[in-house]
A and B are shown apart, each in its own frame.
Chain A
Amino acid sequence: MSSSFTTLEEIYRHNFPNTLWVSSGQELMNNSPVPCQVFPLVSGGSSGGNLFSSSSGFCNGVYVSSSSQARPSVSTVQRDRMTVADVSGEGQRQECSVEIQSLQLINQPQEQKNMTWSSDQLQGFFDFPVPDPQAESSRTMVSSKEVLLKYEWPDWADQLISDDGLEPNWSELLGDPNVLNQDSKITTSSSDITRQEIVFKNQHQVDPSMEPFDTKNSPASSMTSKQRMRWTPELHEAFVEAINQLGGSERATPKAVLKLMNSPGLTIYHVKSHLQKYRTARYNPELSENTEEPQVKNLKTIEDIKSLDLKTSIEITEALRLQMKVQKQLHEQLEIQRSLQLQIEEQGRYLQTMIEKQQKMRENKKDSEADPSAPSPNPSQAFLPKATNSEPSITQKQQNGISTMDQSESASGTSNRKRVRED
């Protein structure tokens, strides 16, 4: 097992030179239940018909519990197509580790989840330029900082959520421009984050050595019925069109729809479940429409129509408007929070890479100086001036011969993250 694992690792390393190995091979072998596997985004290359190629970002996250377990649970996680690019501020690094057992387990007809498809978005995916992570990250930090500084939690929202007895400030409620200003900033930040995503131009070609992996996947996935698929509006439109061509949601059959849609990777199970949902969604509004009308008519005959309607509708309108305001506000908040979350993660990783680079430099320096006896001095002066005393632990590791990048990165990351300020 170890040999095959090593081979696989080598293959991955060879083909994805930019990747960062998070956990060392040794560790993986010794402690079997190890997490993680974010494959670099393998492009949707050429090999037809199998999962690996048709999904643009295929990330196998496989967590395998220790083999002693009676029923190891395998969950494969796949990255979404373009959304990955949008989301992860990974900079230039990717982490990739492979659990050998996972490959074997994938053969089993486990539930394959998370298949994401969008061939049209595949195109846009490769258009992102490869950025300079440092510049980007500092810029994004600044811009998000601006966002935060300009951020204002309007009084009305504050009062709404803190104390129900307070009166919301209606003027502010109605005329709060700040909320909208941040949107542009946020999108700037997130687009910067997008550009930081590694662009897989280097890893564009489908790796032939990955094929065994792929072929193991495809039969397994086609066997399972429950596949997680993300329906985009575009895909749904195609679906609706197919339905209409076939004469309506009641008459259309999944098979026919599937054929009409002719979307690669779409299986009949997807279509079936989606059709079911579609039918339910259509059925319900029809029901409600039919039941509401008679009630409305009764009301009209009894009371003075116009004034009552007007008053009710005013009230309803006001209520809806208030609700909408609150929701919009929450949404803005969430956008900010999300960009923050991404920034934090990005910054953390950036710090690690810096530290690790410094360490490498020191190592190289040490090697070149042929100075074996000296225990590495406290490297904190060497790099980030505000680095803390967690460095010695890292250097000790180096002395022990651990030079795996993941080790030092993680080690420094977890300890430094708490204290080190970014410069």
Chain B
Amino acid sequence: MKFGKEFRTHLEETLPEWRDKFLCYKPLKKLLKYYPYSSDHLDSRPVFADTTNISSATDDGDVAPGVRPTEDLQGSFVRILNEELEKFNDFYVDKEEDFVIRLQELKERIEQVKEKNGKNGEFASESEFSEEMMDIRRDLVTIHGEMVLLKNYSSLNFAGLVKILKKYDKRTGGLLRLPFTQLVLHQPFFTTEPLTKLVRDCEANLELLFPSEAEVVESSSTVQAHSSSHQHNSPRISAETSSTLGNENLDIYKSTLAAMRAIRGLQKASSTYNPLSFSSLLQNEDDETVTAENSPNSENKDDSEKEDTGPSH
């Protein structure tokens, strides 16, 4: 339930044009919810060799445990998931291609500007040069933001798929999760290495052009503006940010924050305990060797001593 909520919240806050490209988690959940009523089988024991039912092991008390997933449900479920995969892949690969092109363009622009600058006189004034650079910088940040959001898209959808598959197996006693997850792992939308490379490339370029710590402000008026922006609360900063960033960047900025919130949400403990969940891995709540350093709050964690904490996860 938590995931569903996080997911939905994120959907609302993310880039508008991406919204319908995400997994249709809620509808799938609903589909599963109505599952028992669509089934006709009442076998509680796997009679046939080919039955994939291990129902007696499921801990879902309310559903008739021995019910084999009907062909209809499994078929339609798989079909829907397939379509979702197609959707993800299409969107992802499309975006990836866009990024490749745009990044290449940006790099070319940088080269051009550098050349212009080197020629000593192409530029009317320094400000024009800095204007150009500012544009390039803005574009780099924008594309970086979008790329990271695409990664988030991939990750969130994967998490959603895994969850919904788990629910499916739990609900119907089927064995869909493992094979399907294996399939998903190799889908283009989840193989994000090329994208990561692009992101790194982008970051490298930004570092090169605009070293992060080098923005030292000399004049008094600007110092005042600078320090005031430091001291004031982030609403002030967001106001400044919004006015200076422009709509596009602002959207990305907001979506980025939303994505981070979603990830935080995923990392929190969920209602069902799972030693292999994010929360367990991050918090080690039930670990025998919980120490004082092993604080539940991830942001307070500052220890690095603990290497092998008992049954490691």
Contact = CB atoms under 8 A, between A and B. Distances in A.
Contact of B263 (A146, A159, A240, A334): A334
A167 interface: yes
Contacts of A265: none
Interface stretch (B15-23, B28-36, B44-52, B115-123): B44-52
A66 B90 contact: no
Contacts of B145: 323, 327
A114, A174, A289, A423 — which one has the most chain B CB atoms within 10 A of its CB? A114
Contact of A348 (B49, B192, B235, B276): B276
Nearest to B260: A161
A401 B78 CA distance: 28
A205 B17 CA distance: 45
B109 A233 contact: no
A420 to B, nearest CB: 8
Interface string A386-423: 00001001101100111000010111011101111111
B234 A75 contact: no
A327 B46 contact: no
Specify the main secondary structure of chain B where it touches its partner: helix
A365 interface: no
B260 A152 contact: no
B247 interface: no
Interface stretch (A2-10, A24-32, A255-263): A24-32
B232 to A, nearest CB: 7
A345 interface: yes
Contacts of B86: 75, 113
B144 A324 contact: yes
A341 B243 CA distance: 38
Interface string B221-252: 11001100111111101101101110001001
B253 A151 contact: no
B225 A311 contact: yes
Given A153-B264, A393-B54, A232 B182 contact: no
B275 A164 contact: no
A300 B234 contact: no
Given A95-B179, A151-B298, A32 B75 contact: yes
A22 interface: yes
Contacts of B49: 24, 26, 400-402
B75 A330 contact: no
Contact of A281 (B76, B102, B307): B102
B281 A340 contact: yes
Interface residues of B, number: 138
Given A311-B221, A323-B145, A36 B180 contact: yes
A8 to B, nearest CB: 17
A411 B148 contact: no
B199 A331 contact: yes
Nearest to B132: A289
A168 B237 contact: yes
Contacts of A220: none
Contact of A410 (B79, B103, B175, B273): B175
A228 B90 contact: yes
A105 interface: no
Interface stretch (A77-85, A126-134, A206-214, A369-377): A77-85
B112 to A, nearest CB: 11
A36 B191 contact: no
A421 to B, nearest CB: 5
Contacts of B219: 307, 310
B289 interface: no
A179 B230 CA distance: 22
Contacts of B186: 38, 57, 59, 61, 77, 79-80, 84, 87-88
Given A61-B183, A164-B238, A305-B127, 12 more contacts: A33-B75, A35-B78, A36-B180, A80-B191, A145-B313, A146-B304, A165-B233, A311-B225, A314-B222, A315-B225, A324-B206, A326-B253
30 contacts: A27-B50, A27-B51, A33-B74, A36-B182, A37-B183, A59-B186, A66-B72, A80-B186, A87-B191, A142-B312, A162-B261, A166-B234, A229-B93, A274-B101, A307-B219, A309-B130, A311-B221, A313-B134, A318-B226, A318-B229, A327-B148, A330-B263, A334-B151, A338-B151, A341-B155, A390-B54, A410-B179, A415-B57, A418-B59, A421-B313
